[in-house]
Chain A
Amino acid sequence: MERDDIYEYSLDGHHNEEAGKKIRKKIWQVTALLTAITILEVIVGIFLGRSSTSGMLWQSVKWGYIILTLIKAGYIVMVFMHLGDEKKSLRYIILVPYFIFMAYLIFVMINEANAVHGAWETYHF
């Protein structure tokens, strides 16, 4: 029996050929961007990697990598996984708890690791 008291959200995703063209164009654009970022990362890795740089230069390369990674991740989540097209409340209920927890975990990790490193350097276990 067909039920008419439940809204079938699965049908919401449907679109026509014309809208499909636009969506496909966006997909290929994002592909090009992700590929370009990966190639850039490898080129930087070969010429400005950790083995050939140090100090401030390496620090900026490192943070550059992390930012590029987050950009890549953002495009994958928002475009490929369509989270950008979902309702705002769903978007936030997925992202906000995750970021809060990870930020806390990373903070703890860096703090504790520094302390342990310091202890090992001091006492040479």
Chain B
Amino acid sequence: MAGHTTNQMDSATLWGGKTSPFQVSYGKMMMWFFLVSDALSFGGLLVAYGFTRHTTLDAWPIGEETFNSLPFLGHGYPLVYVALMTFILIVSSVTMVLAVEAGHRMDKKGVVKWMIATIIGGFFFVGSQAWEWYHFIHGSEFGKIELADGSQAIVSGHFGEIKNFTVLEAGKHHKKGEVIKEDLMHEFQHAALAGKLKDGTITLHDGTIAKINKEADEHMHLIIKKDGSKYKVGDKIEDEKAAKMYYESLYSGESNKVIYGANLDQNEYGPQQYAQFFFFITGFHGFHVFSGVMINIIIAIGVVMGTYHKRGHYEMVEKTGLYWHFVDLVWVFVFTFFYLV
């Protein structure tokens, strides 16, 4: 029968287009295809991060040293805050899957309830990330210091509070003997960057020279992050010696001995690319979370208005749910590769 064809085919052989080979609706399949491509974007970003981290010769920042703060409580709580963020996102993923489940039972009230919970969780996460960014950009009170031998060190410990500045030499705005009590930390860091701290005195913008009255720092440790002629990466210097070396550099009167916080040029945590990747990857993810919250709100309005109930199924909730879980999924990887490993 070679070469012979027939126009007659039985219906078992003939695919009439009535059923889909994957047995899912068009919309859901397209959502999956979109998620695969989005997962490739994030995969690419994390691989690029891994490449940079692998190639660099300087010490890469360590998660539990860099992220150790909690709102209102200060430093000394390694990883707790990001863990909390992760937990919030996992919980909001759970409430989303419960909304989908309620939709499968055509339980409109249940869908509304769980979707609102998801939206609240999403806002909490975005807010947490804003705090995290603020803290990352703002940096620690000590900053990263360049020591006398050219090595660079981060500092852990408790920064003694600056009480006030007593004016020694009058400037434009301040008289001799005056006690300045406002904007102390800001002025102090600004002067440190400009090299205007010298032997316990500070030179302010207007030329005023004042004595710094500051409480002693406690439990100070220097952790070397960049090789110098004397100290190597990984060395730790403790307590009094650490304080002496830190203030020797800070009060040297030279500019650019210290870095506070992070921007795209430099950061106190590690190599320049570290902050760039931090901003880009967590920012890209945060943008996804934000869009997810917006999409959830739109769909929740549709649920409240009864659009999907009339349609006979809540597949729209399921599809937005897929996107929302995907956002959670990405965070699981960001959490591991940015904060833990």
Contacts and interface: CB of A to CB of B under 8 A. Distances in A.
Contacts of B11: none
B24 A109 contact: no
A117 B55 contact: yes
B274 interface: no
Contact of A14 (B32, B104, B326): B104
A11 B78 contact: no
Contact of A13 (B32, B50, B91, B104): B104
B11 to A, nearest CB: 13
A18 to B, nearest CB: 10
A9 B24 contact: yes
A81 interface: yes
Contact of B332 (A5, A76, A120): A76
Q: Is the interface of B mostly helix, strand, loop or mixed?
A: helix
Contact of B101 (A8, A11, A20, A72): A20
Contact of B87 (A15, A20, A38, A73): A38
B51 A109 contact: yes
Contact of B83 (A8, A38, A114): A38
Interface residues of A, number: 64
Contacts of B321: 80-81
Interface string B251-263: 0000000000000
Interface string A80-105: 11100011011001100110011001
Interface of A: 5-17, 20, 23-24, 27-28, 31, 34-35, 38-39, 41-42, 45-46, 49-51, 62, 65-66, 68-69, 72-73, 76-77, 79-82, 86-87, 89-90, 93-94, 97-98, 101-102, 105-106, 109-110, 112-114, 116-117, 120-121
